[in-house]
Amino acid sequence: MDTGKTLIEMHHIIKKYSEAVIALNDVQFKLNSGEIHALLGENGAGKSTLIKVLTGVEKRDEGTILYEGKGIHFQNPQEAQRKGISTVYQEVNLCPNLSVAENIYIGREPKKGGRIDWKTINNNARVLLDRFDLDVNVTRKLDTYSVAVQQMVAIARASDISAKVLILDEPTSSLSRVEVEKLFEIMRRLRDAGMGIIFVTHFLDQVYEVTDTITVLRNGEYVGTYETGKLSKVELVGKMIGKEYAELNNKLEENSEETAEGELFADLNKISGFGTIQDIDLQVRYGEVLGLSGLLGSGRSETARLIFGIDKIEKGSFEIKGKKVKFKSTLEAIRKGIAFCPENRKTDGIVGDLTVRENITLALQAKRGMTKTISKQEAQRIADDYINKLDIKTPSSDQLVKNLSGGNQQKVILARWLATKPELLMLDEPTRGIDIGTKAEIQKIVIELAKQGMAVIFISSEIDEMLRCCGRIAIYRDFKKIAEIKGNAISEETIMRYIAGGDLYEKTI
């Protein structure tokens, strides 16, 4: 790979949020043109902080940053962007109520005679997105498209603005496999055009698929920079978190033995939703982890939403412990012993401005009712209990949840539901955007809970994880359940084939 000239050099970067919280300690980083550089590390390793320091979101305390050989000190991300460094974040940072084309050209609209030249904007936007093989109507509002499309638009905008450096912070979290392929193709094309790309991700497979160089951070310190081809995956994991991962992994293997069939908790009989799933049959039993597998939008999350009473059931019968139910609100579902960690933890999970303690006790308080207040002491006890049990990393239970890292926020939501002592726990993508250490921990907790007799529904896009956690897997395609496999029949290949839609397999059902 041709390494080109050095674009960015960072030396001895130190960033302290306070005397006690050192986010970056003497970190270095180097990016060449025509290179895709993976920035890796667990949550809290300092990846995001390093990017924030580079782009001027945060000010560094010490150290030098050279950009094309010149020392720089960006005051804000806009300045960085003007100089040719732009960032696409995990959460789409665009305006959902503006059109796709407006989003691409906002702040730099081409003008004609002092007025915005809409024709050029729309045409250029179309040409730009064509290059990304994105077939969208650029005059429609952004929020009429899926998150994946929005993310692609954000990347298109960034690559159009900055010709030199593109930073992608977890861009693939909400993309499907096909979309990821498309993104990688674009990344390679941009690299070949001489752009330097910094790629932050949690998916190690993707690192090996697309990057040239890897820089690893751990606990705010620089571990090293490696050529991707010369570092094995095991070595890489070792560099990122040390030995713990291997141990955790072993433990999980032991746990994934087949379990005896438990008692029936919920029985879905030919359930359909309005414009979503159709004729779904599903039995949920105590003491097992039932996986719902399929592509994004295949009906897995929709099933969980129907069970939890968020969306209405159109037809079919839904029984819990042999009794017919029809939930008018989530509260009724909660009172029947159901808990649900939704897919999007930021918008549907945490209440950011409330404390960790309040977030943990929120659902329990709702379950008990408004007048049966949980006293501060009791809330404190419950919160401390779960902070210990789930190893939630927070200075205290008084900390606002928005200040916690993604993995710890997920644990807080998990704690919220465990506090309600549920009989059925539904987890939708509980490990998305979370570092592998925490990921393994959450998987372990899930298996442990099922062992203790809880019914668990587990939804994930990562087949790896499904294999590890689930004793039985229902597979969805186009809002229909197309198969159910369990025990030894579960393998990556079978699941993939069902999802991909081999007709041969459908006949065997």
Binding residues (CB under 8 A) for other proteins: these are 308, 310, 329-331, 333-334, 340, 342, 347-354, 358, 362-363, 365-367, 370-374, 416
**Burial of residue 234 (number of CB atoms within 10 Å: 0-12, 13-18, 19+):** exposed
Closer CB to other proteins, residue 147 or residue 351? 351
Q: Provide, rounded to whole angstroms, the least separation between the CB of residue 169 and other proteins.
A: 23
Q: E strands, 170-250, where?
A: 196-200, 213-218, 221-227
Q: In this structure, what token pair is assigned to residue 187? A: 């990344």
Closer CB to other proteins, residue 70 or residue 372? 372
Tally the C-alpha atoms within 13 A of residue 268's C-alpha that lie toward its C-beta.
Answer: 22
Closer CB to other proteins, residue 333 or residue 473? 333
Q: Provide, rounded to whole angstroms, the least separation between the CB of residue 311 and other proteins.
A: 12
Choose among 11, 45, 435: nearest CA to 216.
45
Q: Provide, rounded to whole angstroms, the least separation between the CB of residue 443 and other proteins.
A: 22
Closer CB to other proteins, residue 370 or residue 509? 370
Closer CB to other proteins, residue 77 or residue 352? 352
Any idea what the Cα angle at residue 371 is, between residues 332 and 346, rounded to 5°? 55
Backbone angles phi, psi at 188, to 5 degrees: -65, -40
**Is residue 413 within 8 Å of residue 438, measured between CB atoms?**
no
* Spatial separation of the C-alpha atoms in residues 278 and 273, rounded to whole Å: 7
Closer CB to other proteins, residue 195 or residue 313? 313
Q: E strands, 219-307, where?
A: 221-227, 264-273, 280-285, 289-293
Choose among 68, 41, 35, 52: nearest CA to 187.
35
Q: Provide, rounded to whole angstroms, the least separation between the CB of residue 363 and other proteins.
A: 4
Closer CB to other proteins, residue 164 or residue 335? 335
Q: Where are the alpha helices (DSSP H) in 320-435?
A: 330-335, 356-368, 376-389, 406-418
Q: Provide, rounded to whole angstroms, the least separation between the CB of residue 278 and other proteins.
A: 24
Closer CB to other proteins, residue 362 or residue 442? 362
Q: Provide, rounded to whole angstroms, the least separation between the CB of residue 432 and other proteins.
A: 16
Closer CB to other proteins, residue 297 or residue 352? 352
Q: Provide, rounded to whole angstroms, the least separation between the CB of residue 134 and other proteins.
A: 28
Q: Provide, rounded to whole angstroms, the least separation between the CB of residue 351 and other proteins.
A: 5
* Spatial separation of the C-alpha atoms in residues 322 and 422, rounded to whole Å: 17
Q: E strands, 143-263, where?
A: 165-169, 196-200, 213-218, 221-227
Rg (CA), the chain: 24
Place of tokens 């980083």: 29
Closer CB to other proteins, residue 15 or residue 305? 305
Q: Provide, rounded to whole angstroms, the least separation between the CB of residue 469 and other proteins.
A: 22
Any idea what the Cα angle at residue 444 is, between residues 426 and 420, rounded to 5°? 40
Closer CB to other proteins, residue 367 or residue 486? 367
Q: Are strands 213-218 and 35-40 parallel, antiparallel or unpaired?
A: parallel
Q: Taking the alpha carbons of 462, 466, 469, 474 in that order, is the dihedral positive or negative? A: positive
Q: Provide, rounded to whole angstroms, the least separation between the CB of residue 342 and other proteins.
A: 6
Q: Provide, rounded to whole angstroms, the least separation between the CB of residue 69 and other proteins.
A: 32
What is the number of other CB atoms lying within 10 angstroms of the CB of residue 508?
6
Q: Taking the alpha carbons of 433, 436, 438, 439 in that order, is the dihedral positive or negative? A: positive
